Amino acid sequence: MIFFAITLGLWLVGFGVFWRLPVPQGAPRPAPYPSLSIIIPARNEEANLPTLLRSMALQTAQPREVIVVNDGSTDRTAAVARELGATVLEAPPLPDGWRGKPWACHQGAALASGDLLLFLDADTWFEPGGLRKILDAYLAGGGVLSVGPYHAVQRPYEELSAFFNLAMTAGMGAFTLRGSALFPRGLFGQMLMVNRAAYFRVKGHEAVKDRILENFALARHFQAAGVPLHCYGGKGVLAFRMYPHGLKELVEGWTKAFASGAGGTARPLLALIVAWMCGMFFALNLLVWQPSTASLGLYLLFALQLYAMLRRIGAFRWVTALLYPVPLIFFCAVFAWSATRSQGPVKWKGRIVNAD
């Protein structure tokens, strides 16, 4: 009975760490908007860029310029970007002490001329009207705006990203039962909008040049400078497919993220997320070793809770939530594997990334 009560309590913890996920819905404003420069760091992204750049062409709000920073690609990234109307900047060779993405973003920001800078990963795309919604939300709140793209899950193996996506979103610290009142707020790595004055005041990506999870580190610099942070979900606004080229890419990608540590997630929040996941294992244990209507009900409570959470962040199927031990065990296995790589190199997009 005590074990059952503890497990039920951990189920309630889940609501505390991930209570709400607003999407950008600022009040529509009359044109013109402030001038906007979109900066896309791109390394071997010829397959992803067409979807993103074509989605931009269909937006009701248009940027002043789209800058694709070609970060040493060995494919047709630069040619594809030019064919679709983007300005291509060839990033100089990566200097000592810099990571690839911060270096590319730094180069793009130096070239950009817009009043607003929007840094955007190449594997994302805008939903119809999405850019206008983002601009409206930004103008309503100012500061820095970051959107976690909605995961357009298409192939069965992509369902294995369920707990990674969920941990990443909850780890922002912005979506708890009390918003961001309890924990520091992070920024999503896939999309960031900020005015150029605030960006250069904190020295932008130069200040986080050696970080793998530069989005968390950059959030701290903005907070120290008194720049407010606003985080949103991307459903109906901004989407992406995470690691669409197979299971190997998925494992490599999440290993890279984990190998740099648990990111910038506040330790108390991280502990609560882990506790909630432990509750899921406890519910499974009760169902297997003490099968009853009550233990089945508790397992289904976790499955329903998980499904409600996952549908906010991606097109995950109900069966993924119902069979949650599969993606949860996969999550734990990749985390354990990444721990063995925490002091060693990780290969990502043909470049060796030192995780220390």
Secondary structure string (H, E, C) spanning 139-190: HHHCCEEEEECEECCCCHHHHHHHHHHHHHHHCCCCCECCECCCCCCCCCCC
Rg of the chain, C-alpha, whole Å: 20
Range list for CATH 3.90.550.10 in the chain? 36-245
Measured CA to CA, the distance from residue 242 to residue 250 in angstroms comes to: 8
In this predicted structure, what is the pLDDT of residue 265?
Answer: 75
In this predicted structure, what is the pLDDT of residue 212?
Answer: 76
In this predicted structure, what is the pLDDT of residue 172?
Answer: 87
Q: CA 250 → CA 102, 157, 161, distances in Å?
A: 22, 9, 8
In this predicted structure, what is the pLDDT of residue 277?
Answer: 97
In this predicted structure, what is the pLDDT of residue 233?
Answer: 95
- Whether the pLDDT of residue 348 is over 70: the answer is no
- Whether the pLDDT of residue 96 is over 60: the answer is yes
Q: Are 139 and 26 in contact (CB under 8 A)?
A: yes
In this predicted structure, what is the pLDDT of residue 92?
Answer: 93
Measured CA to CA, the distance from residue 56 to residue 52 in angstroms comes to: 6
- pLDDT tens digits along 273-324: 999 999 999 999 999 999 999 999 999 999 999 999 999 999 999 999 999 9
Q: Are strands 36-42 and 65-70 parallel, antiparallel or unpaired?
A: parallel
Q: What percent of the chain has pLDDT over 70?
A: 90
Q: How confident is the model at residue 263 (pLDDT cuts 50, 70, 90)?
A: low
- pLDDT tens digits along 30-64: 767 899 999 999 999 999 999 999 999 999 999 99
Which range is least confidently modeled, 140-144, 173-177, 227-231?
173-177
- Whether the pLDDT of residue 354 is over 70: the answer is no
Crossing angle for the helix pair 162-170 and 267-289, nearest 10 degrees? Answer: 140
Q: Global pTM? A: 0.90
- Whether the pLDDT of residue 339 is over 80: the answer is no
Q: How confident is the model at residue 242 (pLDDT cuts 50, 70, 90)?
A: confident
**Average pLDDT, integer, range 253-271:** 72
Q: Are 212 and 52 in contact (CB under 8 A)?
A: no
In this predicted structure, what is the pLDDT of residue 268?
Answer: 87
Measured CA to CA, the distance from residue 116 to residue 98 in angstroms comes to: 24
**What type of residue sits at position 288?**
V
Place of tokens 């924990």: 183
Q: Is the dihedral of CA 333, 339, 340, 341 positive or negative?
A: positive
Provide the 8-state DSSP code for 330.
H
In this predicted structure, what is the pLDDT of residue 171?
Answer: 86
- pLDDT tens digits along 158-205: 999 999 999 989 988 889 887 766 666 789 989 999 999 999 999 999
In this predicted structure, what is the pLDDT of residue 191?
Answer: 96
CATH of 36-245, one of 3.30.2010.10, 2.60.120.330, 2.30.30.100, 3.90.550.10: 3.90.550.10
**Average pLDDT, integer, range 109-133:** 96
- Whether the pLDDT of residue 101 is over 90: the answer is yes
Q: How confident is the model at residue 252 (pLDDT cuts 50, 70, 90)?
A: confident
Q: CA 134 → CA 112, 128, 146, 254, distances in Å?
A: 19, 12, 9, 27
In this predicted structure, what is the pLDDT of residue 285?
Answer: 94
In this predicted structure, what is the pLDDT of residue 205?
Answer: 96
Residue 310 DSSP SS3:
helix
Measured CA to CA, the distance from residue 315 to residue 195 in angstroms comes to: 32
